[in-house]
Structure 1
């Protein structure tokens, strides 16, 4: 009897030690700015704000490009990291590590997608689908604005870059109006990426190593060290993982996960939910200081497209505006606009010393692939009285932190954006 209990206890302990990713009921799906749009979006068809007597007369939007493939440098490191499959296989066969059989099998059978690793920096097939879905849903709700426009009544333009330009094409395919004309992107300066032509930002912020100090420091903290140790024990491999190894394995997890098809990557089985949260925070720290509240100049760039929004709606209100204006841009610009609007601001700045799980600044939710800020100007007629309101949507849901659950009176809207009208970039 005693021997039986020992055997049962040993078996039970061994079973508990196996971490099975493939059959978990609830996975953590937030991967900082590489989060698939499907994991964070709402549906404008269900959430559009409607009021009796009100009709949208102009739509303005800022849209991040759809999921794109990693750059060449990332691809090389990710492909180098795939060798860990062989080490995990040998480790499992020797009875080392704590990965369950199906997770190991899925990883061993994983085959790299040719598009992801060959067409560097291009929009991924899923990114094109994200854009098409976005276009389809918005055209269903704002059909009168989007489907029935001649060239003088709309603007469709992206920042410079093939993956951005192809994002616009995906969006048009979703709309189902192939006659829409895409304006040529501007390689030097444009309202949806003014920082790109600013030496002060490109050299002093984006390419300044000091900007990433907190993110780098966090990799020396106990939380990140615990991630490394956990993966080391979980895989049972016989060499020491570096910070670069961890980053590359994380990139394999998030770049080869599909939101559209709700298919998580076998590479994600190397991480626990807590591990993914820690790695997500590194992305938040990078975004916070490079694009957001961590660097004061960022809010100035965010005012440029918001000034365009104000001017666009003033013209529409006066009867000579455009039916829709859509700009396609980078996560950097999305972050800057949030800062200019005062959104997602934490009372205490993000630092390496403390990861607040209830923080407001979450790049996974605000700067995911295909994330978008859409704004409508609505004309409201009641009897002989005509009024206007403005509704903000973030990722197809009303942006509740602005005005009254996303709905601003014209006065509130104008007061919020009018101070941005004289913004200059002379410091560049």
Structure 2
């Protein structure tokens, strides 16, 4: 009996030993090759919010459960132990949304029509022969199997990092909340799958709360919805770049490679081809033929276009975008306050962990409110060439399964707080001297937000209309 590389068993006739030996050799070669890093597109690190988590942490391509405990950095001179973890997590890899599926369908129709005429370039005919459109509108942003793996494996790694917090004994005291979107509910379930695999429980029991007030706060903030989301001028920089010189160059080069008239390819279709490369990698781990249409410079331009959108829609571009996350900000610090304060023996123990599963749109405003990834010069439509060293790169900040971890330690000098983003240490702005500053110093740094940042007054009561606030 032999097992193939996807776990299927085959029974071989005992008398056919020659065939058995040959098959065994083939399977062993396939098995050993599967241990090596798979073929990854050369542009895989530029997919913005559609980037795989493994591109941010490439060591996971070799071992998905690899954990580096040295990322936990309480002061070596103090005796410290972790007492609480709050994790704000983006859902895992997903199918395209309906909007992008329709763009893919348009691109697919163009390829089929032009390739059948026989006058198109060889690249176009090659794509037509090697690729078939398999996306359907009912997929609409749902979590894929790889996305479940993303969250399951993240839970297992966090359990290895924080065994005393994410333990079976603490099972009923771990708080789990999710956005109502199907991909987030599936993700929080997969996270629980991962924990219960660690605990070796045979029956998985899901218990989580759907909480859109926390995880989809941006929908409830009227100032944000009217001032940014529905305001045509709020994303002006994105529109200007979309039709600017750099994007036009990518469009022209792609048309030449495909042997198509330039005017047949709209900027949206160029982006659809780029996204196809990202989707097929994140969903199927496939190096799609669409990837070969773009060189690294093209990918950097398309990443920048995506970053402009996220910057001006969800991040530092308009201050209301950050302030819309006030409910989540206050929830995190209330939870940390409870976990860090002294307790009487009669009081119930605080939550050892709070797991909050949402979207890139959940993480980006909160990261911005915390003052992270704010470059001295904001990205605009006309400064692309000076922005190559920017810290605001969504490919690195909010890939699928992105996570913002607040780790509270009990230390000799008092509670300390460490921040990790995508399982790597990041220092709080204004407190760069320490990896895990005293919690009271963190609270002092954010005192203006802890005492203010009122959701109602920021989102409903801002004077002077609801146009976007462009403080940078």
Common fold: TM-score over 0.5? yes
For residue 416 of structure 1, what is the aligned residue in structure 2?
A: 445
1:128 matched to 2:128? The reply is no
Aligned to 1:334: 363
* Structure-2 separation of matches of 1:208 and 1:348: 23
Which residue of the partner structure matches residue 425 of structure 1? 455
Answer yes or no: is the 8 Å Cα contact 1:156–1:327 preserved in 2: yes
What is the aligned partner in structure 1 of residue 164 from structure 2?
A: 144
CA distance in 2, matches of 1:308, 1:407: 20
Please name the residue that 2:29 is paired with. Answer: none
Deviation at 1:117, TM superposition (A): 5.3
1:375: how far off?
A: 1.1
Q: Which residue of 2 aligns with 1:183?
A: 208
- Structure 1 residue 251: Cα displacement: 2.3
Query: Which residue is equivalent to 1:7?
Result: none
Give the drift of 1:113: 4.3
1:194-233 alignment, distance < 5 Å:
194-233=217-256
Provide the rounded CA distance (Å) in 2 between the counterparts of 1:363 and 1:267: 22
Match of 2:25 in 1: none
Q: 1:398 maps to what in 2?
A: 425
Counterpart of 1:373 in structure 2 is 404
User: Which of 379, 384, 388 is matched with 1:350 structurally?
Assistant: 379
1:243-286, Cα deviation, whole Å (9 max, x unpaired):
2221222222222223884x332212111211111111111111
Deviation at residue 419 of structure 1 after TM alignment: 2.8
Q: Which residue of 2 aligns with 1:59?
A: 85
SS in 2 for 1:81: helix
| Residue of structure 2 in register with 1:160 after alignment | 180
Structure 2 stretches lacking a partner, 5+ long: 1-37, 59-65, 344-348, 461-472
The alpha-carbon deviation at position 410 of structure 1 amounts to 2.0
What is the Cα deviation at residue 215 of structure 1? 0.8
Question: RMSD in angstroms over aligned alpha carbons?
Answer: 2.7
Match of 1:32 among 26, 40, 48: 48
Conservation of the 8 A alpha-carbon contact between 1:47 and 1:396: no
Q: Distance in 2 between matches of 1:363 and 1:414?
A: 27
Q: Aligned pair 1:315/2:338, yes or no?
A: yes
Is residue 297 from structure 1 mapped to residue 328 from structure 2 by the alignment? Answer: no
Contact 2:108 2:133 (8 Å CA) reproduced? no
TM-score, scaled relative to structure 2: 0.76
* Cα distance change, pair 90–203 in 1 and its aligned pair in 2 (3 A): same
Distance in 2 separating the partners of 1:56 and 1:417? 22
Could you say which residue in structure 2 is the equivalent of 1:18? none
Residues 307 and 418, structure 1, Cα contact 8 Å, conserved in 2:
no
Partners of 2:171 and 2:116 in 1: CA distance: 62
Distance in 2 of aligned mates of 1:293 and 1:27: 26
Quickly say closer, same or farther: Cα 1:221–1:25, change in 2 above 3 A: closer
For structure 1, the residue ranges without an aligned partner over 5 or more in a row are 1-21
Contact 2:47 2:275 in 1 (8 A): no
Q: How many corresponding residue pairs?
A: 394
Distance 1:26 1:69 in 2: 22
CA deviation string 1:91-118 (max 9, x = no partner): 9x76x7484xxx964662223445x754
SS of 1:408 mapped into structure 2? coil
CA contact (8 A) 1:123 1:166 kept: yes
The alpha-carbon distance between structure 1 residues 267 and 260, as it changes in their structure 2 partners (threshold 3 A), is closer
Deviates more, 1:68-77 or 1:175-184: 175-184
Check the 8 A contact 2:50/2:278 in 1, yes or no: yes
- TM (norm. structure 1) is 0.83
The answer as to whether partners of 2:95 and 2:142 remain within 8 angstroms in 1 is yes
Q: Does 1:246 pair with 2:270?
A: yes
On the 8 A contact 1:27/1:273 being kept in 2, the answer is yes
Residues of 2 paired with 1:324 and 1:420: CA distance?
A: 23
